[in-house]
């Protein structure tokens, strides 16, 4: 095997002229985290809304929820990314389309919106499963107490459902974080894209990818640890 | 706006999109699914074997794959496979591997981690008493697995395995990052050649949606049929 290992490459100046290769990777890491967090906010609230729609005692609401989930789950993320980035600005009225195209950091905003809507369909499935896992008596008890539908969800069903689905929601969060790498196809300079450009500039393929791998594993461990603490902090004392 | 939506560019590129692109996508999906299930089952068996070392290696591999984005793994294998090939054949220079074998190895190895989690649940869903009964009949490990546990595990997990295959079908579009001509790659090449991004990407989305939607509908029907009533 004649591969020239050079682990000190990380401290060499990158050809971009501001900092070392390590700085380049870390800036990619920050973009990855920023994209993941921003899109998660959309995904969490929209997904909760859609998930609730699917459990409401109303046929049209169920249909809207189901249609949303089926639409966003059955189109590959890459295709959705291209639809938001290339197609959406052309389809909306020209004035708005031009404004979108001139946005600074357009790949970032596109990736956030695209991942938010995509992950929302997965979050919706978890929220629905969580609500349906609750005993039927809880909804009835809420109604018997004179709660409106909104109040039943807000004070009875959702607080319990979120506690049940915390573990699968953690893995959806991690999936969302990993999916940010698909945004490199529309030019977002996140961690995988930075590892790839480091490889192109320096020819140190395996060092670059090893560093990216380690960084991804570290974020995963941090998120899993944080989720364990969150689960403990949110647990209702005495339950189970 | 959509007023100048041009259907003729879609019609004229249909043979290329389906004859080359979709054939590539479907071949890759089918081969990667079969390979992934086989490797995944072996990984699940290794993880449940209780053999010190083997269990940890299988667990570590699965956890590593599950914490990495597929795009990064695609790049890893794209550059790693030539070196592994050189190592296996004893050559001194990295061997040239075609794009298709490289993508196939990537998806088999990556999806094996996900399939192994499904198969692990499947193997664990078989009551311990059945394994004990098989051993009492004098069967060795492989006979027990091959004749008693795995056939039932596959049957129980068939809907999940197929759902994961639909996910795999969608994931194969990511070979775009290696500029391969899968369905999405073909659509994107036509889109850029003719400057018809709107038409081609919407068409690609419609085709993917139609295929995945009907496939998951069929899986749901199958699920009802193969469910073993307990």
The predicted model gives A102-129 an average pLDDT of 93
pLDDT at site B228: 65
Residue among B68, B188, B197 whose CB faces A216 most closely: B68
CB contact under 8 A, B1 and A75: no
Answer whether A114's CB lies under 8 Å from A81's CB. yes
Query: Which residues on A lie below 8 Å from B83 (Cβ)?
Result: 1, 3
Quick check: A76 and B208 CB within 8 A?
A: yes
Measured between CB atoms, does B88 come within 8 Å of chain A? no
With contacts defined as CB-CB under 8 Å, which chain A residues touch B197? Answer: 82, 86-87, 90
d(CA A139, CA A16): 59
Instruction: List the single residue in A90, A181, A216 with the smallest CB-CB distance to B67.
Output: A216
Average pLDDT, integer, range B139-143: 93
Of A90, A182, A212, the CB nearest to B198: A90
B9 within 8 A of B201, measured Cβ to Cβ: no
Q: How much is the average pLDDT of A50-73?
A: 94
Q: Do B69 and A174 touch (CB under 8 A)?
A: no
Q: How confident is the model at residue B201 (pLDDT cuts 50, 70, 90)?
A: very high
Q: Which residue of B has its CA nearest to A210?
A: B76
| DSSP secondary structure letter of residue A74 | S
Residue A133 CA to residue A130 CA, distance in Å, equals 5
DSSP run (H or E) holding B222: helix B197-226
Mean of per-residue pLDDT scores for chain A: 90
3-class DSSP state for residue A102? coil
- Whether A15 shows a pLDDT value over 80: the answer reads no
pLDDT band at A1 (very low <50, low <70, confident <90, very high): low
Per-residue pLDDT at B1: 53
Is A119 in contact with A43 (CB distance < 8 Å)? yes
Cα A4 from Cα A203, distance rounded (Å): 10
Nearest to B160 by CA among B63, B30, B37: B37
Q: What pLDDT is stored for residue A91 in this prediction?
A: 85
Indicate the length of chain B as a whole number: 230
Phi, psi of A237 (to 5 degrees): -55, 135
> Is there a contact between A209 and B71 (Cβ–Cβ < 8 Å)?
no
> pLDDT tens-digit profile of B75-103?
998 888 888 878 887 777 777 777 888 89
* B230 pLDDT higher than 70: no
Closest chain B C-alpha to A156 CA, distance in angstroms: 31
Residue-wise pLDDT for B2-34, tens only, equals 667 778 888 888 888 888 899 999 999 999 999
| B93 and A CB contact within 8 Å | yes
Q: Give the model confidence (pLDDT) of A205-233 as tens digits.
A: 888 899 999 999 999 999 999 999 998 99
**What pLDDT is recorded for position A59?**
93
Q: Do A82 and A161 form a contact (C-beta atoms < 8 A)?
A: no
For residue A13, list its beta bridge partners: A20
CB contact under 8 A, A209 and B79: yes
CB contact under 8 A, B205 and A75: yes
Contact A142, A155 (CB under 8 A): yes
Greatest Cα-to-Cα distance within chain B, rounded to the nearest angstrom: 73
Average pLDDT over residues B63-76: 92
Can you tell me whether residue A57 is helix, strand or coil? Answer: coil
Report d(CA B181, CA A54) in Å as an integer: 38
Under DSSP, the state recorded for B220 is: H
Q: Looking at residue B148, what is its pLDDT? A: 93
**What confidence score (pLDDT) does residue A207 get?**
86
Instruction: Tell me which of A124-128, A151-155, B147-151, B193-197 is least confident.
Output: B193-197
Query: What local confidence, expressed as pLDDT, does residue B186 receive?
Result: 92
**How far apart are alpha carbons B10 and B24 in whole angstroms?**
19
Across the interface, do A213 and B76 touch by the CB < 8 Å criterion?
yes
Query: What would the 3-class secondary structure string for A171-223 be?
Result: HHHHHHHHHHHHHHHHCCCCHHHHHHHHHHHHCCHHHHHHHHHHHHHHHHHHH
- Residues in chain A whose beta carbon is closer than 8 A to a beta carbon of chain B? 1-3, 70-71, 73-80, 82-83, 86-87, 90-91, 93-94, 174, 178-182, 184-185, 192, 195-196, 199, 205-206, 209, 212-213, 216-217, 220
Report whether pLDDT(B215) > 90: yes
User: What is the arithmetic mean of pLDDT over A108-121?
Assistant: 95
Look-up of token digits 């697995």 = B145
Read off the pTM: 0.90
Are A182 and B197 within 8 A, CB to CB? no
Distances (CA, A) of B50 to B44, B46, B154: 11, 8, 21
CA of A79: which chain B residue's CA is closest? B205
> What Cα–Cα distance (Å) separates residue B189 from each residue in A21, A187, B192?
32, 17, 5
Q: Do A86 and B87 touch (CB under 8 A)?
A: no
Test mutation, B185, B205, B217, chain A, max A CBs within 10 A: B205
Residue A3 has pLDDT above 90, yes or no: no
Which two three-digit tokens encode residue A45?
A: 């609230």
Q: State how far residue B90 is from chain A, nearest Cα, in angstroms.
A: 9
Measured in angstroms, the CA of A182 and the nearest CA of chain B are apart by 7
Residue B204: half-sphere exposure toward Cβ, Cα within 13 Å: 33
Element (H, E) at A2: none
Helix (H/G/I), strand (E/B), else coil: A13: strand
Show residues of chain A in contact with B70, CB under 8 Å.
178, 181
CB atoms within 10 A of CB A2: 8
B69 contacts on A by Cβ (under 8 Å):
178-182, 192, 216
**In chain B, what residues touch A2 (CB-CB under 8 Å)?**
92-93
pLDDT for A90 equals: 86
Place of tokens 């001194």: B92
Residue A76, pLDDT above cutoff 70: yes
CA atoms within 13 A on the CB side of B150: 16
Using the predicted structure, report yes or no on whether residue B50 has a pLDDT greater than 70: yes
pLDDT at residue number B4: 73
Q: How far apart are CA B90 and CA B217, in angstroms?
A: 48
């Amino acid at each position: 095997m004649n591969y020239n290992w050079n682990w000190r490459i990380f401290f060499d100046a990158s050809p971009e002229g501001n900092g070392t290769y390590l700085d380049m990777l870390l800036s990619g890491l920050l973009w990855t985290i920023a994209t993941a967090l921003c899109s998660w906010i959309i995904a969490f609230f929209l997904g909760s809304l859609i998930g609730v729609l699917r459990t409401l005692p109303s046929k049209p609401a169920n249909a809207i929820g189901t249609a949303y989930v089926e639409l966003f789950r059955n189109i590959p993320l890459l295709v959705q990314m291209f639809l938001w980035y290339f197609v959406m600005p052309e389809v909306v009225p020209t004035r708005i389309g031009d404004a979108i195209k001139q946005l600074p950091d357009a790949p970032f905003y596109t990736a956030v919106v695209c991942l938010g809507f995509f992950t929302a369909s997965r979050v919706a499935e978890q929220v629905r499963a969580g609500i349906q896992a609750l005993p039927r008596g809880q909804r009835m008890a809420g109604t018997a107490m004179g709660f409106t539908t909104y109040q039943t969800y807000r004070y009875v069903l959702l607080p319990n459902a979120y506690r049940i689905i915390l573990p699968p929601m953690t893995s959806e969060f991690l999936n969302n974080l990993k999916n940010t790498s698909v945004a490199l196809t529309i030019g977002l300079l996140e961690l995988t894209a930075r590892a790839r450009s480091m490889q192109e500039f320096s020819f140190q393929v395996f060092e670059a990818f090893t560093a990216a791998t380690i960084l991804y594993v570290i974020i995963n461990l941090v998120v899993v640890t944080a989720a364990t603490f969150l689960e403990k902090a949110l647990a209702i004392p005495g339950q189970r | 706006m959509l007023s100048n939506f041009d259907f003729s560019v879609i019609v004229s590129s249909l043979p290329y999109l389906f004859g080359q692109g979709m054939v590539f996508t479907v071949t890759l999906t089918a081969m990667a699914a079969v390979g992934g299930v086989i490797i995944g089952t072996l990984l699940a068996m290794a993880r449940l074997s209780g053999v010190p070392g083997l269990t940890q290696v299988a667990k570590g591999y699965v956890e590593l794959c599950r914490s990495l984005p597929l795009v990064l793994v695609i790049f890893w294998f794209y550059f790693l496979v030539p070196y592994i090939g050189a190592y296996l054949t004893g050559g001194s220079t990295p061997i040239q591997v075609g794009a298709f074998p490289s993508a196939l190895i990537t998806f088999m190895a990556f999806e094996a981690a996900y399939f192994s989690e499904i198969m692990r649940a499947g193997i664990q869903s078989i009551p311990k008493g059945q394994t004990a009964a098989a051993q009492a009949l004098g069967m060795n490990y492989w006979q027990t697995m091959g004749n008693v546990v795995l056939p039932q595990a596959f049957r129980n997990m068939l809907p999940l395995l197929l759902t994961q295959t639909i996910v795999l079908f969608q994931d194969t579009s990511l070979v775009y990052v290696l500029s391969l001509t899968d369905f999405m790659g073909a659509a994107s090449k036509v889109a850029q050649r003719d400057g018809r991004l709107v038409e081609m990407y919407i068409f690609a989305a419609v085709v993917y949606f139609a295929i995945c939607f009907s496939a998951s509908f069929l899986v749901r029907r199958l699920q009802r049929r193969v469910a073993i009533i307990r």
